[in-house]
Structure 1
């Protein structure tokens, strides 16, 4: 099926599936049938305005009902949905809009102190962008009562979602997904989780990331009850789990530990929560053990924007597997482990993880990136190092990619380093991950200063604020060194810096 076909079927089968949005700005309680109808009306108007198959519709909206409406509208018009992280500044947004050629862009009017008209204006020339629609009267007019046309038909193998990931380069990478691939992901994960398909879900993931977008599409295409928050609040999350009898959730250790601590402090009942999928960050074994003692099954998964889920634990996994592995390959996914030349390593040895499966992306929007990303046979090179144990469970042992994973967000070390080196007091710099109890990892700036120069962490923060990039990329720790450790060829020994961190 295409997305719109799956959505129409879901609306017929589960029109009453509830949606709850906890927000100080756009709170909402509604049902799937209403969301699908509003989106199809908007999509009908998109088609009448000339938006069609292959056109890109950007959506820089937080976890609101409006994001879901835009996703339906894009599918109705046969267009490609482009979710964008709401915290991106003009630098990232401008790059994404120009490279993707997005014709329409949806944003809030204001959100968390940001004026989105100003952000778009600061992007500079956007030759392909025809319309910028902010939530409010302009948005409401597009979904107002009116006719619903037959949906524009597209092939399920055509690009339906374009999501950007920072990866390991300074500029984000456009990751192309088809409806067939993402619907396969949803079906497989539903089978992996078990239950009756009506388990209530609470999602802390911003919908600009693939994990957040998939939570939204799970509601739209499967009708699983959904609870959303537009800003993370651990106490509110615990309250919502109790009020809506939420059964399933996912997040980082930061989300899980905060929610449990809040429930303990406020007396919330989390007994309905049966399983919690933790991905995108290292998980302290003590946290999983604590949840296990409370009857909450917590297990890991492994995936990426390019291949959303490769492996996953399940509720019935032995405790040691929940604690120390990323689970086993999900239905249809394959893994192999190779050396630097792309040759298979011996069974049980560490190698770069390469993956295939129905959920694998179609390739990057920039085709020049694909040659390095794939091995013959369509195997995706993840850049992570690992192996499987005797029982088939994946262990991640190293990270080939030079990224920092802060609370599930991939941060490019190269991009951070470029901003650091633009500071007049810094003559050499490296950015590495430092362990952090709340976020899993944070950015550590290791710098060498010019003679007689001085630098504080506040100086670094002010410099990054002036550079116009997302706040989470700003270093949270600073190490001033006489020189950076390097090997004989001059390459910075980042493993040594990480060990020091």
Structure 2
């Protein structure tokens, strides 16, 4: 994969290695160490029962050998789309052991996204949940792929482990995460074993977890938040237990939390609100829960303040990105910080700048563009030579697209976004991508996609369309058009409005600020 992604400058890499935060080993080696230390202690639980650390290590190694027998080799890329179950964890560590690089596709992705991931990476495999929908996706997008099978079948593979090559090292690619994406389909984020392992270790320290932690994975496991902040990988790194929830509903999750003695979980604001409502309505709350992490979007202070009295646990706000930087409110923070800020960077090695439109630093208390770099923040996207100079500064800072201000305590408050992006309950929608697809409809002359406030999701998407001459399309027809194109369901506009024309700025761009004002009247 040399040349496919931007490495850290050698001076920085040497500093991280010499400081010991980059250990030079991969996840497979770490799992072997954990298996020796924790043995039969439960690592993962799903509907089929518990899997211990030693069993997880043995099974993932056998599956790695089975994948090798089915034609996969170190350095191959596999697009993986999975349910929340133990098979996903087994398959992830099997890929780590063999040196196959997973693309962490989300359950909602469909032909457009999966096809792009396969084509852009030249993937050798597409591993999917096995439903009719996914078999259709495979049939239409994966014709040139070497291995197409279900996650369950792949996780049941077995082969001779003696034939496996040595496990990958710290500098090798571990996986490809997905960006929130402000233009087109998500960019691919190359995370190495060194940087991703450090990010989960420092998250485990900040979140004060240990081998007594029982973590409920309620969000889709492939998201960076439930995978690594500290998530599945962080909890496993300290010998804790991960409980896989098949869905995030209060009915499912409250029962799982009570049955397994869950102490920590992570949700997006819309889900936090649903759980709060369920707890108030039913007079029931999880008895063992100690920490509710909320991330993916900003949680308003009023709802943050309800977590302790209604759910009986501490709220921890998490603000970060799959490109690297993650901020947390500390568990001992006063309520004024925990409820009103999004925390501060996890690592003392994190470097951030808050700048104006000309990249000049702004004083604390003033809002500006957030730039970040450090030992777990990437220096470039995968195979994105044209886009990287836009997304990263010449000295290696990632332009996050977030607008923030820093308080006198050093915590960050998210004040907005500079990217043309909608945050729908934690799912990021790139407005230009949907606009391009809308303009491809024969009945649409022009279109703009904007965010509108929503009390549950935070934001909903609204497509504002100008009909083609002598055409009279309906919102139902427009949404059906997008579904037929194989667009992920969360990207299909919640609202469709038709206007005679779109307002423009002096330089001819669509004036989305004015459009929002006009529609709110």
Among 42, 64, 71, the alignment partner of 1:17 is: 42
Say whether the 8 Å CA contact 1:190–1:197 is kept in structure 2: no
Matched residue count: 489
In the other structure, the counterpart of 2:22 is none
Aligned partners of 1:52 and 1:77 also within 8 Å? yes
Q: Which deviations, in whole Å up to 9, do the C-alpha atoms of 1:43-102 show, x marking residues without a partner?
A: 123345553332212211111211111111111112222221122111211110111121
What is the CA–CA distance in structure 2 between the aligned matches of 1:37 and 1:298, rounded to whole Å? 36
1:36-185 to 2 correspondence within 5 Å?
36-48=57-69, 51-110=72-131, 114-123=132-141, 125-126=143-144, 129-135=145-151, 138-139=153-154, 141-143=156-158, 147=161, 152-185=166-199
Q: Following superposition of structure 1 onto structure 2, how do residues 426-437 of structure 1 map, counting pairs within 5 Å?
A: 426-437=444-455
What does residue 381 of structure 1 align with? Answer: 399
Shift of residue 196, structure 1, vs aligned partner: 3.2
Matches within 5 A, 1:336-375: 336-368=353-385, 369-375=387-393
* Residue 6 (str. 1) matches residue 23 (str. 2): no
Aligned equivalents of 2:444, 2:135: Cα separation in 1:
34
Residue in 1 that maps onto 2:315: 298
Contact 1:39-1:143 within 8 A present in 2 as well: no
**Structure-2-length-normalised TM-score:** 0.88
Cα deviation for residue 143 of structure 1 reads 3.5
Alpha-carbon distance in 1 for matches of 2:337, 2:95: 41
Alignment root-mean-square deviation, CA: 2.2
SS at match of 2:157: helix
For residues 142-200 of structure 1, give each alpha carbon's deviation from its aligned partner in whole angstroms, at most 9, with x where no partner exists: 137x5455662323022111122351111321110011111111111111111434211
> CA separation in 2, counterparts of 1:118 and 1:307?
34
Q: 1:455 to 1:324 in 2, by over 3 A?
A: farther
Report the Cα distance in structure 1 between the residues aligned to 2:133 and 2:119, rounded to whole angstroms.
Answer: 20
Match of 1:391 in 2: 409
- Contiguous gaps of at least 5 residues in structure 2: 1-24
Using a 3 Å threshold, how does the CA distance of structure 1 residues 140 and 74 change in structure 2: closer, same or farther?
closer
Secondary structure at the counterpart of residue 315 of structure 1 = coil
CA contact (8 A) 1:18 1:32 kept: yes
Q: For residues 308 and 391 of structure 1, do their structure 2 counterparts lie closer, same or farther at Cα, with a shift above 3 Å needed?
A: closer
> CA separation in 2, counterparts of 1:20 and 1:249?
14
The yes-or-no answer on 1:317 pairing with 2:338 is: no
SS in 2 for 1:367: coil
1:330 to 346, 352, 355: 346
Map 1:340-489 → 2, pairs under 5 A: 340-368=357-385, 369-489=387-507
Distance 1:292 1:498, change over 3 A: farther
Q: Taking structure 1 as the reference length, what is the TM-score of the superposition?
A: 0.91
Deviations 1:98-151 (CA, angstroms, capped at 9, x unpaired):
1112112221221xxx4322211111653xx21112245x4365137x545566
Is 1:240 paired with 2:256?
yes
**Aligned partners of 1:204 and 1:255 also within 8 Å:** no
Give the aligned partner of residue 279 of structure 1.
295
Q: What secondary structure, in the 3-state scheme, does the structure 2 residue paired with 1:152 have?
A: coil
Distance in structure 2 (CA, Å) of the matches to 1:335 and 1:140: 40
2:172 & 2:155 partners in 1: Cα distance?
A: 29
Q: How far 1:457 sits from its partner (Å)?
A: 2.7
Distance in 2 between residues matched to 1:175 and 1:354, nearest whole Å: 17
Mapped to 2, the partners of 1:312 and 1:207 lie a distance apart of 20
